[in-house]
Amino acid sequence: KDTCGSPGAGAPVELLSCGYTSIMRHMPIQTYKPAWWLPGAHLQTLWPALFRRRQALQLTRERFELADGDFIDLDWTPARKTDTPIIIVLHGLEGSVNSSYANGIMQTIMIHGWRGVTMHFRGCSGEDNRLPRAYHSGDTADLATLIDTLRQRLPSAPLAAIGYSLGGNVLLKYLGEQQHNAPLVAAAGVSVPFELAKCATRIKQGFSRVYEYRFLQTLREKMLAKLPQHGVNLPLTAKQIKKIRSMRDFDEYLTAPLHGFHHADDYYMQASSRPFLKKITVPTLLLQARDDPFMTPDVIPKKTELPVCIQLEVCTRGGHVGFVTGSAPWRAQYWPDIRLPIFLKSHFAQDI
């Protein structure tokens, strides 16, 4: 009952499929079985971050200038042919190319002969961004600019995107906004927080407060670092920033006013990706776990909300961006790195 896989794989917990099951039926069957040695959602969530070995990747950094005077940093795998498929990787809250899942999928992209580029959200590449504002869960403008630029630079290269957690929310919202104008052949989201208000409440409960504490550490540090240059444009003083103890308060007093929202609830309502799902037209795969400690099960959308181009695979266990499998700790494997290339390959094959 704990397996979860592609169409035809044995006993998925829940599989909401869309219009390309005939393609997937001819792919090798892959099945996710949660690692027996990681019982519970928190161990699934923490293991990759703490113990997954990062690979030394040959990456080239590009400073991508934005129209408002700010920048984002891109980390590229080595160039291949001009028509090599490009996969944009979007990290989660306070993540980067060094996050275990981003490092893993970039290596997987290279193994498959594709080209990967991790788009760092503003201020997440190891260098502070230039403006008082930073990034948020519904900020799709920078992604849209990047995609349009890549389409112009390499018009013969198929484009796809993978978003993890916050990055998945941004990607799905972008796809819903763009609809038929999105120039992607495929997309995928892993552990997407479809309803931000519910996730902000869930992360305050039980052991999940450890994750909230860790996020707030780096978010507060970044805001404090902006004070010498942008203090007059920030809504809080250093003392007030240091007193913030929840993600909701951070969003209420910093995220919302810095990014044009009235308050946290307004931000959560406008930035959540769930209302945008029905407008998506790009073939999209979503991997979710019912025991995700960042959200409640009812955050996961229902079948009636999804267009035929979205395939949602929901597993009973997997944690948040975990999905660890393997017979022993020294044989750990990570389901997204297995499942996503199968999905993407089928759509690249159609496009090329």
Positions marked active-site = 165, 292, 320
Q: How far apart are CA 293 and CA 299, in angstroms?
A: 12
* DSSP sequence for 266-311: HHHHHH-SGGGGGG--S-EEEEEETT-TTS-GGGSPPGGG--TTEE
* Token pair belonging to 184: 């992607």
Residue 94 φ/ψ region, left for φ over 0, alpha for ψ in the -120 to 50 degree band, beta for the rest:
left
* DSSP sequence for 123-185: T-SSS--SSS----TT--HHHHHHHHHHHHH-TTS-EEEEEETHHHHHHHHHHHHHGGG---S
**3-state SS of 313-339?**
EEECCCCCCCCEECCCHHHCEEHHHHH
Q: Would you tell me how many other CB atoms lie within 10 Å of the CB of residue 272?
A: 22
Contact, 213 vs 204, CB < 8 A?
A: no
Give the β-pairing of 86-90 and 159-164: parallel
> Which amino acid does the sequence have at 254?
L
